[in-house]
């Protein structure tokens, strides 16, 4: 008989935000592909600051249900509230209502999997106590490093962590931070790298100019504008390079303005949001990925890049330290060092073993490898 799992994400891909929580969707597919009956209940709270004509019609307590292989997705579309208590209450009540419907149809689920401790950890804790369903938390949040959470939220997070049966951190870096908030055992299991899309293309193209790529949400903590300024400095030194920027966010207009004002349109392209298939194709015409975020709890695009045989230049940010090394990447500690690393690469590029890079990532983060780790954990708690 199939084990029944309910997944409660704080981020999940939607039509309005297709890349949000894509790592959660990858895990949903991993469980569904390996014999689990999976239901996703996602209460999507959009900020009141983001109200516009386009999304206004979509957010009147609408519900969207989608069924596919061993999986049901239920997404409630809601406007957020500035009051944490009300948001937590609403998340809990809506999830509880859907859980009752689920139990009538399928019976008691075997496990709740909660992605992020806030706000869904609070919902999982209450439902677990009320319905006697075990729950685990898989934590991804950079918020512990960026002072995102206030004292009230930290209190909610601690309760959620300490009442869970198990905590999974997606990196050793994040695990170390979480030990300050809980006495519970924490396992480290990374995110899934999708083998369907990120296979090695053995015919690597060569170009006259080195081609760089960054894939990132365009927010200040990702420091993409600072990277663009580095490429401007390199151009001033007569070093002509290409940079493609994949992503969107509040910094998009600032970055676009800087590119135009500094005559960088021929060198730097803003490509917007791309799906996995499109990103994989872009990797095939890329020499190096760059990651310059202040903090990463995992770094999925870096792992995907290495899987595609594209070495990464990574500004030290925590999570990627679990899998980057001298055989697949360059690690730097400042933008000054990043700039010099690019200049050194232009002078003489190191040859990386692309096949070994690909094998290394899929030995650590393939669906086949990670499901074994989760199955072992689940045997202890279900």
Contact between 378 and 346 (Cβ < 8 Å): no
How confident is the model over 36-58, as a mean pLDDT? 73
- Model pLDDT, residue 77: 82
Q: Which is more confident, 25 or 49? A: 25
What are 277-293's pLDDT values in tens digits?
999 999 999 999 999 99
For the domain 211-363, what is the CATH superfamily, name and number? Answer: Glycogen Phosphorylase B; (3.40.50.2000)
Quickly state the pLDDT bin for 29 (edges 50, 70, 90): very high
Contact between 135 and 165 (Cβ < 8 Å): yes
SS3 202: coil
What are 49-93's pLDDT values in tens digits?
555 555 555 545 578 889 998 999 999 887 666 668 888 998 999
- Model pLDDT, residue 79: 66
Instruction: Spell out the residues 6+ positions from residue 167 whose beta carbon is closer than 8 angstroms to its own.
Output: 136, 137, 139, 161, 178, 182, 184, 185, 186, 187
Distances (CA, A) of 237 to 53, 228, 240: 46, 14, 9
- Model pLDDT, residue 380: 83
Of 155, 135, 147, 26, nearest in space to 85 by CA: 155
Distances (CA, A) of 126 to 5, 88, 119, 120: 17, 11, 12, 10
Q: Cα angle at 214 between 241 and 269, to 5 degrees?
A: 55
pLDDT for residue 300 is more than 90:
yes
- Model pLDDT, residue 259: 98
User: Same fold for the domain at 4-192+366-381 and the one at 211-363?
Assistant: yes
- Model pLDDT, residue 201: 80
What are 134-187's pLDDT values in tens digits?
999 999 999 999 999 999 999 999 999 999 999 999 999 999 999 999 999 999
Contact between 141 and 35 (Cβ < 8 Å): no
How confident is the model over 121-131, as a mean pLDDT? 97
Backbone φ and ψ for 359, nearest 5 degrees, come out as -60, -40
- Model pLDDT, residue 57: 54
- Model pLDDT, residue 298: 97
Instruction: Spell out the residues 6+ positions from residue 369 whose beta carbon is closer than 8 angstroms to its own.
Output: 362, 363
Quickly state the pLDDT bin for 256 (edges 50, 70, 90): very high
pLDDT for residue 28 is more than 90:
yes
- Model pLDDT, residue 310: 97
Name the residue ranges covered by the structural domains of the chain. Answer: 4-192+366-381, 211-363
- Specify whether the backbone of 224 is left (phi greater than 0), alpha (psi in -120 to 50) or beta: alpha
- Model pLDDT, residue 203: 65
Instruction: Spell out the residues 6+ positions from residue 157 whose beta carbon is closer than 8 angstroms to its own.
Output: 117, 118, 121, 149, 181
Please state which CATH number belongs to domain 4-192+366-381: 3.40.50.2000
CA 92 to chain centre: 24
Contact between 257 and 232 (Cβ < 8 Å): no
- Model pLDDT, residue 50: 55
- Model pLDDT, residue 61: 59
Residue 284: Cβ-neighbour burial (10 angstroms; 0-12, 13-18, 19+):
middle
């Amino acid at each position: 008989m199939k084990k029944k799992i309910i997944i409660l994400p704080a981020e999940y891909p939607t039509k309005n935000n297709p890349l949000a929580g894509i790592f959660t969707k990858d895990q949903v597919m991993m469980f569904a592909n390996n014999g689990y009956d999976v239901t996703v209940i996602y209460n999507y709270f959009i900020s009141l600051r983001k109200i516009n004509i386009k999304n206004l019609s979509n957010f009147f307590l609408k519900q969207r249900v989608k069924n596919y292989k061993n999986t049901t997705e239920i997404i409630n579309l809601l406007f957020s509230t500035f009051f944490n208590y009300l948001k937590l209450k609403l998340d809990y009540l809506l999830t509880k209502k859907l859980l009752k419907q689920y139990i009538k149809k399928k019976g008691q689920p075997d496990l709740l999997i909660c992605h992020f401790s806030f706000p869904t950890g609070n919902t999982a804790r209450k439902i677990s106590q009320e319905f006697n369903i075990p729950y685990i938390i898989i934590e991804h949040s950079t918020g512990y490093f960026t002072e995102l959470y206030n004292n009230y939220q930290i209190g909610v997070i601690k309760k959620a962590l300490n009442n869970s049966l198990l905590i999974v951190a997606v990196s050793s870096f994040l695990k170390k931070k979480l030990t300050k908030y809980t006495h519970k055992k924490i396992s480290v299991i990374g995110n899934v790298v999708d083998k369907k899309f990120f296979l090695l293309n053995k015919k690597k193209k060569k170009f006259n100019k080195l081609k760089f790529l960054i894939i990132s949400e365009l927010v200040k903590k990702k420091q993409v504008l600072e990277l663009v300024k580095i490429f401007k400095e390199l151009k001033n030194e007569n070093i002509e390079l290409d940079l493609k920027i994949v992503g969107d966010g509040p910094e998009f207009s600032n970055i676009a303005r800087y590119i135009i004002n500094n005559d960088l349109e021929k060198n730097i392209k803003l490509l917007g949001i791309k799906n996995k298939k499109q990103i994989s194709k872009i990797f095939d015409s890329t020499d190096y990925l760059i990651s310059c975020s202040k903090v990463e709890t995992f770094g999925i695009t870096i792992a995907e890049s290495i899987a595609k045989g594209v070495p990464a230049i990574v500004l030290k940010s925590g999570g990627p330290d679990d899998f980057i090394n001298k055989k697949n990447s360059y690690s730097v500690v400042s933008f000054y060092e990043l700039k010099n690393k690019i200049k050194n690469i232009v002078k003489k590029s190191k040859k990386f073993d692309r096949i070994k890079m690909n094998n290394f990532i899929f030995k650590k983060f393939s669906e086949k490898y990670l499901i074994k780790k989760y199955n072992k954990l689940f045997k202890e708690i279900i």
